[in-house]
Structure 1
C-alpha cells in the first residue's frame, strides 16, 4: 500500500511547508560543499603544477640526465603534471554538471513549492471563509430561535391575560409568527451553509489539499532523487578520471622501476674515469748513497748559485731567457705570439681546448666521440636540406612558372659551403680521436698525475712549482731549440696561453714573477753600465729579440723605483708599453730606443696606457 502525504498528513500543512523549505536549503548547502571542493581541487592542481615547476630540472642539469635517477625523477614530474590536469578536469566537470544541476534543481523546487503553498493557502482561505459563513449562519439561527421562543412565550402570556384586549393579543401573535418565520429562515440558512461547509470541507481534505500535499511530496522526492544523482554523479566523475590517475601512478611506478643503481654507477665511471693506472710502488731511498755523493752535489749547487747571482738582471742571462720565454711571451717572438693566438682561438666555448687534450684521456675520447656524433647529425640535416633545395631547383627548371631556379642557387651554394665546413670539421675531429686512441695509457705516478691534471683538467708544467733543476735545464734547452728555429710547438704554446690566462708570472723555478723577482730588472746597452753585454754568459747560444712595443703610456704620478726590477719615472713622461699587466698590478715599460734603452716595471695605476690597434 502506497502512503501519501495527502492522506497520511492531511492536517500537517505547516510542518510540510517547513520540511520542504529545509530540504531545499539542504540541497543548496550540498551545492556549497561542492563549490568548496572545486576550489580545493583547483588549488591542489595549481599547487601540484607549482611544485613541478619549482623542482623542474634546469638546463644546466641536462648532463645529469644520463643517470637513471634523474630520468626517473623527470618522468615522475610529467606524471604529476598529468595528475594535476586530472584534478583540474574533476573540478571543471563538477562545476559544469553538479553545480549547474544543483542551481537549476533548487530554482525549480523553489518555484514549484511556492506555487503549491500558494494553492494550499488559497484552499485554506476558502475553507476558513466557508467555516466563518457557517459560524455566522449558526449564530444568526441561534439568535432567531431564541427570539422566536421569546415571542411564543410572550404570546402565550398575552393570550392568558384577560386584562389585555383582543388587539394586543393579536399583535403578540403577529410578532410571534414573524419571529418564528425569521427563525425558520435562519435555520434554513444555517442548514444550507452547513451543507456547503461540509461539502467544501470534504472536497478540501479529500481532494484539494491532498493534491497540494502530493505535489509537495513529489517535489521533495524530486529533491531527494536529485541529491542522490548528484552524489552518484560526483563519484562517476571521480571514476572517469580514475583510470588516467591509475595510469599516472603506474607511470610513476614504471619510472621508479627504471632506476638502475648499477647503471648509474657505470655512468659515474664513464663521466669521471681518467684512464690512468694507479701509481707503482714508491722506491726505497738509500740515504747512505746520497751521503757519498753529497760533496760533488754541493759543489755543483754552489757553482749554480754563483752563476745565477752573476747573471741576475742581465739581458743575456738564462733567467732572462726564461723570462722572455714565459712572462714575456707577448713580445719575445712574433711567431710565438701568432701560435698562442691560434691556440686561444682553438678553445671551445666551455674553456676547453679544441681537441680536449686538457681532459683526462678517457674523458677526451668521450668528448671527441660526442663531438663527432653531433657533427654527423648536422651533416645529415644539411644534406637533407641540400637535397630538398636541389629538388626544388629541378622543379623550377622543369616548370619556370612555379619559380626562378636562380633564387635557389644562392641557398645551394651556402648549403654546399656548410657541408664542406662540416666535413672538414668531421675529418679534423676524427683525426683528434685517432690520435687520442693511439696514445697508450701508461702507469703514471701520483706526482705526474698531479702535475698533468688537477680536478680532471690539464695544467701547465710550470704551474706546480716543484720541478727540479735537471728538468728545468731540459725545458730550457727545449725552449731554446724552438726559439732558435723561430717556431713554437702546439703543446708549448697551449701551456703558455694557459699561464697567461691564469695570470701566472713564472720564473724557471715555477714561482710567481714580480718586479722583485729579478725577471723584470731594467736593461740598457749604454757603455759602462755593466748590464749591456749581450754575451756575458759564454753558455748562451743566442741573443733574445727586443720586445716589440704594444703601445704607449703617460706617467700620471712620479714613481721612485725602490724595488728590484722596477724603473723610476716622472709625471708626464711618455714610455713604451712592452708587456701588459698580468694581474699582479705591474706593467712592463721601456724608456728610450735604438741602441740605448732601459726597461722595467711600473705600477699600472700610475700610468695611462694607449695600445696600438
Structure 2
C-alpha cells in the first residue's frame, strides 16, 4: 500500500519555486520604488539649485553699472546661468525616470503577478486532480482490506465448524456458503483496488512527467521575464545618468570657459577709471598778499596786549570741495550768472560722460549720477516755486504783509529753471538710453529732429531725422547739452481787443524754453510799459524775434503731418502753405499762419520747407 505522505513530497519543490518567483517580483517592485525615490531626490535637488541660482542672480542685478561690466561679475553670472541649466537637466532626468522607468516597472509588475497567479491556479488544479485520484485509491484500499479480513474470518469459522463433529451438516453448509460469499466480495474489492491503483499511477506519472513541468516552465518564464525587466530598468537608469552627466559636463565646460575670461588687470583698471572719473581736480589756491608790514601805520589795526593783530577775511578764501563743479552744473543747465555777481573763471573740465575716451560703463555711471542730482534740483525748484506761490497768495490776501509783485520775479526764475531742468533731464535720459544701447551693441534709429510733442520735447541743432552713425548721435546730443543759447523772450499770443497796447522789452533768458505753451505763458509776466499804437505794427509779430522775416515774402511748405497737442499749436498736413509769423528762437518751434483759413499757431521748424533749401531747416 502507498503511504499517504508520499504525495506531499511533490509540494515542497513547487512551494520553493513559487516562493522564489514571488521574491523576484517583489525585488523588481523594489527597484521601481528606488527609481521613484531617486526621481524625487533629483527633482528636489533641481528645485533647490534653481532657487539658489535665482537668489544670487537677483543680487547681482542690483549691482551698479561698473560692477556689472567687470569680468568676474560676468563670469559669475555665466556660472549661475550654467548652474540653472544643470538644475534643469536634473529636473529632466527626474521626469524621464518617473515617466519611463517608474511607470514601466508598475505595469510590468502587474503583468508578472498576473502570469504567476495563472500558473499557480493551473498548478492547484492538477494538484487537486491528483489528490482526488489518490484519495479514491485510499478508499478502495480500505474497502479491500476490510473485505479481506471479513473473508478471512468467515473461512476461520468454516474450518472450525468443519472440525467440530457435534455441529450439524446444515450449519456446516451455511458456514461454507458465508465464507465463499466473503471471498467473492474480497476478490471483487481487490480487483477494484488494483484498477484504482493503476489509474492513480498513471495520473501521478502524467502529473510529474507532463503537467508539472509545464507549470514549472511557465513559472520559469515569469521569473526569466522579471529578471530581464530588472536588467532593462537598471540599464535605463544608467542611460539617464549618462545623459545627465554629459549635459552637466557641457555646462561645466562652459563654466570653465567663462572663468578663464576673468581678467584681473582689466577689472582693476576699470574700477580705478570709474573712481577717477568722479574725482574733479580742484583749482590752485591763490596767494592773498596782505601787503608790506612796514605800512602798518597807514592801516587801521587793533592792538591786544601790545601786539598788533591783522584780521584776514576768511570769507575771501571760499574754498569749495570741488571748485569747478558748481560752474559745470550751472553752465550745463544754462543758469549763467551775472558777471557782476560771479567772476569769470577758466573753462571747466569736461564731464566724464562726455569724454569718449572713458569706458562706456564709467560714462553711464556718471550720467546716472548726473540725472539723479538734476532730479533732486528739480524737486527743490518745484518746492521753492510752491512756497513762493503760497507767499504771493498770502500777500494778495493781506497786502499789509508784503508786496505781491515782489514774488513775480522769483516765480519767473523758478518757472524757467523748472522748464530747463525738465528739458535737460529728458535729454540726459535720451542720451543715457543711446549710450546704453551702444554698450549693449544694439543699433538705434532714434530721431533727434523736430519733435511732434511740443510740451515735452524739442528739436536738436545740427541733427537730422535719420543719422547714419552712433557717434553722430552722441555728438549731436552733446552739442545740445553743453550749449546754453541766450534768446529773447517773445509772446506768441495776440493781445485781446480792448486792451491797452503795450511794448515788450526784450529780456535775456537764462535757459531754453522748448514748449510754445511756456513761451506764451511767460508773456504775462514780462515787464510792460505803455506806448503809442504806432509802435506795434502787427499783433502777431514778436518784437524780440531774432529772425527778421517779411511775412509777405516768407511762404513755407509743410513737409510732414503734425497733430496739435496743446492750445498753442496747430495741426498741419503735407503740402500746406504757411506764412511765418514768428521765427525759431532756437527751441525748435516756429509760429506760422495758414495761407487758407488764417489759423495761427506753433509748428515744428523741422517740419517746414523753407525757400531755397532742399531739406527741412533745423534751428541753430
Determine if the alignment matches structure 1 residue 189 to structure 2 residue 192: yes
Partner Cα separation in structure 2 for residue 244 and residue 293 of structure 1: 91
Within 5 A, what are the aligned runs for 1:430-509?
A: 430-431=478-479
Give secondary structure in 2 for the equivalent of 1:164.
coil
The answer to whether the Cα contact below 8 Å between 2:126 and 2:207 also exists between their aligned partners in 1 is yes
CA distance 1:341–1:428, shift in 2 (3 Å): farther
Within 5 A, what are the aligned runs for 1:89-100?
A: 89-100=92-103
Gaps of 5+ in 2: 1-8, 303-308, 315-340, 343-383, 389-404, 464-472, 485-505, 513-620
* Paired position in structure 2 for 1:43: 44
Partner Cα separation in structure 1 for residue 293 and residue 126 of structure 2: 132
Within 5 A, what are the aligned runs for 1:208-287?
A: 208-274=211-277
More helix by share: 1
* Paired position in structure 2 for 1:503: none
Partner Cα separation in structure 1 for residue 266 and residue 131 of structure 2: 92
Encode CA deviations 1:305-340: one digit per residue, 9 max, x unaligned.
Answer: 9xxxxxxxxxxxxxxx99xxxx99978796776455
Partner Cα separation in structure 2 for residue 137 and residue 90 of structure 1: 69
Match of 2:159 among 156, 162, 165: 156
TM-score for both structures, normalised by structure 1 = 0.52
CA distance 1:243–1:95, shift in 2 (3 Å): same
Partner Cα separation in structure 2 for residue 295 and residue 175 of structure 1: 185
* Paired position in structure 2 for 1:447: none
CA positional deviation for 1:98: 0.6
Within 5 A, what are the aligned runs for 1:13-412?
A: 13-57=14-58, 60-61=62-63, 63=65, 64-274=67-277, 296=299, 298=301, 338=412, 341-347=415-421, 370=435, 380=445
Partner Cα separation in structure 2 for residue 285 and residue 302 of structure 1: 13
CA positional deviation for 1:347: 3.8
CA distance 1:417–1:107, shift in 2 (3 Å): same
The answer to whether the Cα contact below 8 Å between 1:45 and 1:88 also exists between their aligned partners in 2 is yes
CA distance 1:337–1:262, shift in 2 (3 Å): farther
Gaps of 5+ in 1: 1-7, 306-320, 357-365, 387-411, 437-484, 492-613
CA distance 1:424–1:161, shift in 2 (3 Å): farther
CA positional deviation for 1:115: 1.0
CA positional deviation for 1:269: 2.6
CA positional deviation for 1:86: 0.9
CA positional deviation for 1:164: 2.1
The answer to whether the Cα contact below 8 Å between 2:43 and 2:90 also exists between their aligned partners in 1 is yes
CA distance 1:220–1:258, shift in 2 (3 Å): same
The answer to whether the Cα contact below 8 Å between 2:148 and 2:186 also exists between their aligned partners in 1 is yes
The answer to whether the Cα contact below 8 Å between 2:75 and 2:258 also exists between their aligned partners in 1 is yes
Give secondary structure in 2 for the equivalent of 1:259.
coil
CA distance 1:19–1:290, shift in 2 (3 Å): farther
CA positional deviation for 1:94: 0.8
* Paired position in structure 2 for 1:460: none
Within 5 A, what are the aligned runs for 1:461-610?
A: none
CA distance 1:273–1:333, shift in 2 (3 Å): farther
Partner Cα separation in structure 2 for residue 171 and residue 372 of structure 1: 136
Give secondary structure in 2 for the equivalent of 1:35.
helix
CA positional deviation for 1:93: 0.9
Partner Cα separation in structure 2 for residue 431 and residue 134 of structure 1: 122
* Paired position in structure 1 for 2:3: none
The answer to whether the Cα contact below 8 Å between 1:112 and 1:219 also exists between their aligned partners in 2 is yes
Give secondary structure in 2 for the equivalent of 1:55.
helix
The answer to whether the Cα contact below 8 Å between 2:43 and 2:91 also exists between their aligned partners in 1 is yes
Encode CA deviations 1:495-534: one digit per residue, 9 max, x unaligned.
Answer: xxxxxxxxxxxxxxxxxxxxxxxxxxxxxxxxxxxxxxxx
Q: Report how many aligned residue pairs link the two structures.
A: 380
Partner Cα separation in structure 2 for residue 53 and residue 226 of structure 1: 40
CA distance 1:111–1:135, shift in 2 (3 Å): same
Partner Cα separation in structure 2 for residue 114 and residue 91 of structure 1: 33
The answer to whether the Cα contact below 8 Å between 1:83 and 1:245 also exists between their aligned partners in 2 is yes
Partner Cα separation in structure 2 for residue 31 and residue 19 of structure 1: 19
Encode CA deviations 1:96-124: one digit per residue, 9 max, x unaligned.
Answer: 11111111111011111111111111222
CA distance 1:291–1:49, shift in 2 (3 Å): farther
Range with bigger deviation, 331-340 or 268-277: 331-340
TM-score for both structures, normalised by structure 2 = 0.52
The answer to whether the Cα contact below 8 Å between 2:461 and 2:480 also exists between their aligned partners in 1 is no
Partner Cα separation in structure 2 for residue 268 and residue 108 of structure 1: 69
CA positional deviation for 1:486: 7.0
Partner Cα separation in structure 1 for residue 188 and residue 163 of structure 2: 28
Give secondary structure in 2 for the equivalent of 1:57.
helix
The answer to whether the Cα contact below 8 Å between 1:369 and 1:433 also exists between their aligned partners in 2 is no
The answer to whether the Cα contact below 8 Å between 1:44 and 1:84 also exists between their aligned partners in 2 is yes
The answer to whether the Cα contact below 8 Å between 2:137 and 2:200 also exists between their aligned partners in 1 is yes
CA distance 1:144–1:377, shift in 2 (3 Å): closer
Structure with more relative contact order (C-alpha pairs < 8 Å, separation 6 or more)? 1
Partner Cα separation in structure 1 for residue 150 and residue 117 of structure 2: 49
The answer to whether the Cα contact below 8 Å between 1:133 and 1:193 also exists between their aligned partners in 2 is yes
Partner Cα separation in structure 2 for residue 377 and residue 215 of structure 1: 72
Partner Cα separation in structure 2 for residue 30 and residue 375 of structure 1: 52
* Paired position in structure 1 for 2:477: 429
Partner Cα separation in structure 1 for residue 222 and residue 433 of structure 2: 81
